[in-house]
Amino acid sequence: MREEHKYDDIIRLPHHVSSAHRQMPMLDRAAQFSPFAALTGHDEAVRETQRLTEEWAEPDEDRKALLDEKLRMIRERLASGAGGARMPEVRFTYFQPDERKEGGAYLSVQGRVKKIDGYGHQVILEDGTALAVGHITDIRGDMFPDYEGSDIWP
C-alpha cells in the first residue's frame, strides 16, 4: 500500500526557468535575507566616534620665542633675496585641527617658503601649502644650525 503525500504530483517535475525574465544572481538573492539597517548612518557615527584625534598642546613661552626667532630669520632671508639664491628647504611640524570633532593631528611638511603672510598669519610654501602660524610647533632646517643643540630643542 502506497502512502500519498500532499506534493507527490509535483515533486518530480523539472525546475521551472522563465523565458521572459533573467535569473537573479546568487549575490542578489542572498541580499534579500540580509539584516535590515534600521538606523541609517549609525555605522558611520560609530566609526567616527572610534576615530582617534590628538589633543592640542599649547607651546610654552620658550618654544614660542624660538619659533618667532626662526620665523624672523625666514622673513629676513625672503626680504634679502640672499643674492638670488633659492630659499633652503624647511620642515614644519604643525597641528591640523579636525573638521568633525575636537582635537586633530600633528603633521609635518617640508618645502621652500614662498612668503610669510603677516595679515593672514600664515606661512605659504612654494607648493601652495598654507600653514597657520599659531599652529606651527616646530621648524627645522639647514638655515638654523645654531638651534639644533639648544636646551629647548625637543
Q: Does 126 fall in a domain?
A: yes
Classify residue 93: in a domain, yes or no.
Answer: yes
Q: Give me the mean pLDDT over the 93-120 stretch.
A: 90
Q: Which of 16-25, 91-100, 104-113, 139-148 has the lowest mean pLDDT?
A: 139-148
**Confidence label for 154 from pLDDT (cuts 50, 70 and 90):** very low
- Cell numbers representing residue 149 in the block: 643643540
21 located within any domain = no
State how far the Cα of 109 lies from the Cα of 117, in Å rounded to an integer: 18
Which residue(s) pair with 83 in the sheet? Answer: none
Consecutive H or E run containing 28: helix 26-31
In a domain, 17, yes or no: no
CATH number of the CATH domain containing 80: 2.30.30
Count of domains in the chain? 1
Would residue 152 count as lying in a domain? Answer: no
The answer as to whether 29 is a domain residue is no
Task: State the residue range of the domain holding 121.
Answer: 61-147
* Dist CA 61 CA 65 (whole Å): 6
pLDDT mean across residues, the chain: 83
The model's pTM: 0.63
Residue 65 counted as domain residue: yes
**pLDDT per position as a tens digit, 27-57:** 887 777 777 666 777 778 788 777 788 888 8
32 lies in some domain: no
